[in-house]
Chain A
Amino acid sequence: MTSPVASIRDVAMRFGGILALDGVSFDIGPEQIVGLIGPNGAGKTTLFNCLSRLYTPTSGDILLHGRSLLGRPAYSIAALGIGRTFQNLALFPKLSVADNIKVGGHAEIAGDFISDALRLPRARAGARELDRRVGAIVDELELGALAQRLVGDLPFGTQKRVELARALATNPSLLLLDEPAAGLNHEEVDELGGVIRRIRDGRRISILLVEHHMGLVMSLSDHVVALNFGRKIAEGTPLKVQADEAVAAAYLGGTAQ
C-alpha cells in the first residue's frame, strides 16, 4: 500500500470531564474519499478541528505526509495542504464572493504590509496570479455571475458552494468537508456528489467527508469510518460499514453488545 496522505493516530480529546475523542486511529490514502459518519456528538467535528489545529488533542498524533501537525500553528495548516469547510458556514459575509475565495488563496501568494502598501512588483504579480486561480475556481463551481455580490446576501446553498470554492483556493492536498449536504435539497445533493467526485478526480486530492446524508456518503466514499461517543466503532468499505451491527445500533440509539 502507498503511504497515506494523513494518519490519525490514537487521538484523544478531553474537554473538562467529557472525552470527545477516545483513541481514534485511521489513515486517509492518496486520492481517497473517506467518509466519516456517526450520530450527533460522536466527535466528527472535534476531529476536524484537531486536523485543522483549532484544537490540540489531549493525546495521540496527527501526521500529514508523514510529518506531525501538532507543533504547527493553526494559520500554517492551509499552506501545509489542508483546506476545509465548516459545519455552519464560516464565510466573511460583508465581502464579495470573489474576495471570500481570494482569502482562501492568502497563503498561496506572497505579500506583506510594505509591498502591498507600495504596490511593489511582487505584490502586483501575486494579485494577478490570485486573480487567475480564483477565476478558474469561480468558473469550475459556476459562481461567475455572482462574483461581485456580497456573500451575506446569497441563499444558503450558494453560500455553501462559495465556502467550497474558498477551501479549494487554499490548493489543498487534503480537503475536509464538514456536512456539505446539510440544508441542501434533493437536486442540490445529487449535484454536490458530482462536484465532489470531479474535485477529487481533477485535482487528484484526498477528501475527508463528514456527512449525515447516508446515500451521499455511501455512494462517494472509498472508505468509511464510523464514530460513536468518541470511539471508532467500525471502518471499511461502505458495504461493510453499512452492514455493521454496531453502526446500526448507534444510529438506532441502542448500544451494541
Chain B
Amino acid sequence: MTIERTTALVFLICALAVPAMISGFVTFQLTMLLIYAIAIMGLNLLTGFNGQFSLGHSAFYAIGAYTAAILMDQFGIGYIWTLPAAGLVCFAVGFLFGFPALRLEGTYLALATFGLAVATPQILKLTPLEHWTGGVQGVFVMKPNAPFGLPLTSDQWLYYLTLAAFVLLYVLAKNLVTSRTGRALLAIRENPIAAQSMGINVSLYKTLTFGVSAAYTGIAGALGAIVIQFVAPDSFGFMLSVTFLVGVVVGGIAWLPGAIIGAAFILFVPNFAEDISKGLSGAVYGIIMILLIYVMPSGAGGIVSSALRVLRSR
C-alpha cells in the first residue's frame, strides 16, 4: 500500500512540474499520452476486469470526439461541458450495445465490436449528417486559452486539464475495482455461472460495464478533439481500436496504472520504430511487439506485481 501511495505521489509531482521544463510540442505529446491512457483505462475495465472483448472502442472514441466538436461548433457550448456530455452520450451508446453483446462471447463479441469500429467512420461521413459532422471534411474547433488569466500557454492549460481528468477518472476506477462492484466484475470474468449463483446480476453488470467503459473512452475522445482542434472520420478507424487493445495488453490486463505505460508504448514506440528504419517501421514495431509478448506476457502489470511479491516476501 505504501509503495503504491508513494509511486502515485511521485507521479503526480512529476506530472505537475514537467510542463515548465519542456517545449510546447512535448507538452502536447504528453497530453495525448494522458488522453490515450484514459481510453486504455476504459477498455481495461471492460476487457481486463470484466473479460468482455472489444475491437470497437475507436467508435466510442469517435462518438466522444464528435459529441464535443458538434456541441462546440453548432451550439457554442463551453469545451469543459463537452466532457461530461461526451461521457453521458457514450455511456448510453455503450450500455445499449452491451445488450446484444450479452449473447456473444469471446471471438464472437470481438467480431461484433469490430463491426461497430468499421461502421462508425462511414456513418459519420453520411450526407444527411453532414450538417452536423461536416462529412469527409470533419469539424474544426477553437483552441481554448487558459482561463482566469492563468500564466499558462494554451498547450500547458490543456495538459493540466487532461491531467485533472485523468486523475479523477483514475481515482473513480480504482475505487470501483477495489469495491463490491469490482469483485463482481472479476467474478463474472472468472466464472459467470458461479457469479450468478452468488447473487450477481451478470447481465446488469456486463451492460453497465460496457457503458462505463465507453464513457471513459468517449471522454478521452472529447479531450482529443479539443486538444487536436479537429475531428475527421478517418482518424477513428479500426486501427485505433487495435492500438487501444495493444495499450491494455502492454500495460497489463486488469492493472489500472498500466494505462500510462500502455499509452506511452502506443504513442512513442511507432516513432521509435520509424527512427530505426523509415521503410520498415511497421516491421520493427511488429517485432518489438512480438518480443514484448514473449518477454512479459502479462504486460508491465505482471512484472510489477511479481516484483512487489518478491519485495514483500523478503
Contact = CB atoms under 8 A, between A and B. Distances in A.
A166 B186 CA distance: 15
Q: Chain A CB within 10 Å — which of B176, B197, B201, B208 has the most?
A: B197
Contacts of B182: 116
Contact of B196 (A74, A91, A99, A119): A74
Contacts of A54: 193, 196-197
Given A54-B193, A91-B194, A111 B199 contact: no
B163 interface: no
Nearest to B197: A52
A69 to B, nearest CB: 13
A212 interface: no
A56 interface: no
A104 B191 CA distance: 13
Contact of A92 (B172, B176, B194, B208): B194
Contact of A106 (B193, B199, B212): B199
B199 A75 contact: yes
Interface in A84-103: 84, 86, 90-95, 99, 102-103
B200 interface: yes
Q: What band does the interface of chain A fall in when counting residues whose beta carbon is under 8 Å from B?
A: 35 or more
Contacts of A111: 179-181
A126 B199 CA distance: 16
Contact of A113 (B181, B191, B201): B181
B187 A92 contact: yes
B260 interface: no
B193 A75 contact: no
Interface of A: 52, 54, 73-79, 84, 86, 90-95, 99, 102-104, 106-109, 111-113, 116-119, 123, 126-127, 130, 166, 170
Nearest to B195: A103
Contacts of B173: 117
A74 B200 CA distance: 9
Interface of B: 172-173, 175-176, 179-184, 186-187, 190-191, 193-202, 208, 212
A94 B200 CA distance: 18
A108 to B, nearest CB: 8
Q: Chain B CB within 10 Å — which of A76, A78, A116 has the most?
A: A116
Contacts of A106: 180, 183-184, 187, 198-200
A227 to B, nearest CB: 22
Given A75-B200, A75-B202, A170-B198, A118 B175 contact: yes
Contacts of B190: 91-95
B200 A103 contact: yes
Given A106-B200, A119-B175, A127-B179, A113 B212 contact: yes
Contacts of B202: 75
Contact of B176 (A74, A103, A104, A113): A113
Contact of B179 (A76, A86, A92, A116): A116
8 contacts: A76-B199, A106-B180, A107-B200, A111-B181, A113-B181, A116-B176, A117-B175, A127-B180
Nearest to A86: B194
A73 B200 CA distance: 11
Given A54-B193, A92-B190, A92-B191, A166 B198 contact: yes
Contacts of B201: 73, 75
A108 B198 CA distance: 10
B198 A117 contact: no
A77 B197 CA distance: 7
B255 to A, nearest CB: 12
Contacts of B199: 75-79, 106-108, 170
A102 B175 contact: no
A123 B172 CA distance: 13
Contacts of B183: 95, 99, 102-103, 106
A126 B179 CA distance: 10
Contacts of B172: 117-118
